[in-house]
Chains A and B, each alone.
Chain A
Amino acid sequence: EAGVTQFPSHSVIEKGQTVTLRCDPISGHDNLYWYRRVMGKEIKFLLHFVKESKQDESGMPNNRFLAERTGGTYSTLKVQPAELEDSGVYFCASSQESLTQYFGPGTRLLVL
């Protein structure tokens, strides 16, 4: 069974540009989560999808971040326009019954 996959693995962009991160959850997992780790800080929750619906987006930093989950399958997280403080590692996780989350390898984003 394939695990959670994320694309790209690394992204380097300039301030003001747009970046879109993609997450493919484990097949059959209705729950999909996004987390972020900024350098030197703890991993923090961004949002939670149940199928295609946003269950909880309380961790989204501001309206420059837009998350979607098409048809309840893969999800994208768009940052537009990117700022320096958006640099970090973005993790995606999925779960079947909500309690046990399986994480992807992360996308390392660097905004210059």
Chain B
Amino acid sequence: AQSVTQPDIHITVSEGASLELRCNYSYGATPYLFWYVQSPGQGLQLLLKYFSGDTLVQGIKGFEAEFKRSQSSFNLRKPSVHWSDAAEYFCALAGSNYKLTFGKGTLLTVNP
């Protein structure tokens, strides 16, 4: 069975600080990995995805994520957080059947 764990339910950072959101997965083969963001009142927006190749993936809004097979992780990072980044972030995995398995989400609060 496949699963995704986001260990941090809620993270608070100051504007301008760096950010790392953790994601660990369990899957028997190479997974397809995604990060989505849901801003207040909005739907899920795709930030970035990893299918194969370069393990450091660049996404929109200045986000990047690194796939580490040895650690079964796909952590999301941003060097300098903006107030508009306050949102809920979801890590997701797709196996060969394409349906997404999501983590429980990490709520990001940005302090001015």
Q: How long is the Cα–Cα vector from A59 to B99 in the complex, in angstroms?
A: 10
Q: Residues of A with Cβ closer than 8 Å to B?
A: 4, 6, 31, 33, 35, 41-45, 48, 56, 59, 91, 93, 95, 98-106
Inter-chain contact total with CB atoms closer than 8 Å: 54
Cβ contact within 8 Å between A105 and B42: yes
Per-residue interface assignment for chain B, residues 29 to 50, with 1 indicating a CB less than 8 Å from any chain A CB and 0 otherwise: 0001010100000111110010
Query: B97: CB under 8 A from chain A?
Result: yes
Query: B102: CB under 8 A from chain A?
Result: yes
Knowing A99-B32, A100-B49, A103-B36 are in contact, say whether A45-B100 is a contact too (CB < 8 A): yes
Q: How long is the Cα–Cα vector from A100 to B101 in the complex, in angstroms?
A: 13
Chain A hits for B101, CB < 8 A: 45
Knowing A48-B98, A99-B94, A99-B98 are in contact, say whether A104-B103 is a contact too (CB < 8 A): no
Identify which of B42, B45, B104 contacts A42 (C-beta below 8 A): B104
Q: How long is the Cα–Cα vector from A43 to B102 in the complex, in angstroms?
A: 6
Knowing A91-B43, A104-B43, A105-B42 are in contact, say whether A41-B104 is a contact too (CB < 8 A): yes
Nearest first, the 3 A-B pairs at minimum CB distance are A105-B43, A103-B44, A43-B102
Cβ contact within 8 Å between B100 and A35: yes
Chain A hits for B100, CB < 8 A: 33, 35, 43, 45, 93, 101
Q: In the complex, how many angstroms separate the beta carbon of A21 from the nearest chain B beta carbon? A: 14
Cβ contact within 8 Å between B46 and A48: no
Query: B83: CB under 8 A from chain A?
Result: no
Q: How long is the Cα–Cα vector from A59 to B98 in the complex, in angstroms?
A: 13
Cβ contact within 8 Å between B46 and A98: no
Chain A residue at minimal CB-CB distance from B90: A43
Chain B residue at minimal CB-CB distance from A104: B43
Chain A hits for B42, CB < 8 A: 105
Q: How long is the Cα–Cα vector from A48 to B98 in the complex, in angstroms?
A: 9
Per-residue interface assignment for chain B, residues 1 to 20, with 1 indicating a CB less than 8 Å from any chain A CB and 0 otherwise: 00000000000000000000
